[in-house]
Amino acid sequence: MLHTRIFRFNPLETNCTVLWTDGNPSCLIVDPGMSSPEGVQELVGFLKEKGLTPEAVLLTHGHFDHYWGVDHLLEQFPVPVYLHPADKDIMSQVTHNFRGMENSFSFLKRRFETVDLQDNQEFTMVGTNWKVLHTPGHTPGSVCFYAASDSLLLSGDTLFAGSIGRTDLPGGDYDTLMHSIQTRILILPGDTDVIPGHGQPTTIAREGMYNPFLQPFNEPEGDSPEEGIAIHPV
């Protein structure tokens, strides 16, 4: 069974997700955005309590609030960090867009190297099969991590509960984001749990039916309202 624990780190309350399975001492860490020593201690303390050792760090995209604590985590757990190559430039363009958090930026480092992710890439970690879904729009290299066997999607800042990722930062594009959501995310089974990069978890069905940004893509296929929302499981 795949277990998840969500932490909220930094002033932007980025979701950092730890994933592990029963009987396996390894874990995955997605978007470790710790912006303080206390945040690092909280995450590392949890890992020690559970007897878990990170196998890898997965980044959903290259915005600083999602990798804020990577270098500090790697000091204790030197593991590979995975990122889509289209977001490597994004890493050098971020902090000037967020005024008022300058005091926190002293904790931010960018010394780590990354391993490239590819669209539709499949890999097995922590005893779970994962698929990389490239979902550009929030950033050029935004990705989601999908575990079909566990009905789980980590959507980063592509899709939120009741909202979508912002597209006004460098590399963002609204039409591209909406196309990504329509063609890569909404086609997943409706009972898929979604852990976004910020905010509360949700499901594919809930967002398809109630997310106000997605309603134009979810009109009934016929004239009768009883035909419902056009979400087609894969």
CB 193 within 8 A of CB 152: yes
Establish if 232 belongs to a structural domain: no
Per the domain annotation, does 102 fall within a domain? Answer: no
**Distances from the Cα of 172 to the Cα of 58, 169, 186, 187, 215, angstroms:** 21, 6, 20, 22, 21
Question: Does any domain span residue 107?
Answer: no
Residue 101 included in any domain:
no
Structure tokens at 118: 């590819």
* Enclosing domain of residue 54: 2-92+116-227
* pLDDT number for residue 41: 98
Q: For 154, phi and psi rounded to 5 degrees?
A: -100, 110
- Asked, for residue 19, whether it belongs to a domain, the answer is yes
| Number of domains forming the structure of the chain | 1
Residue 100 within a domain: no
Q: Is 177 among the domain residues?
A: yes
Residue 97 is assigned to a structural domain of this protein = no
For the entire predicted model, the pTM comes to 0.89
CB 143, CB 117: distance < 8 Å: yes
Q: What is the pLDDT along the chain (234 residues), one digit of tens a residue?
A: 999 999 999 999 999 999 999 999 999 999 999 999 999 999 999 999 999 999 999 999 999 999 999 999 999 999 999 999 999 998 876 555 566 666 677 788 888 999 999 999 999 999 999 999 999 999 999 999 999 999 999 999 999 999 999 999 989 999 999 999 999 999 999 999 999 999 999 999 999 999 999 986 545 454 433 333 333 333
pLDDT at position 226 is: 35
Using alpha carbons only, give the angle 84, 148, 18 rounded to the nearest 5 degrees: 60
Instruction: Check which CATH number belongs to the domain holding 126 and give it.
Output: 3.60.15.10
Q: Which of 91, 145, 97, 94 is nearest to 118 (CA)?
A: 145
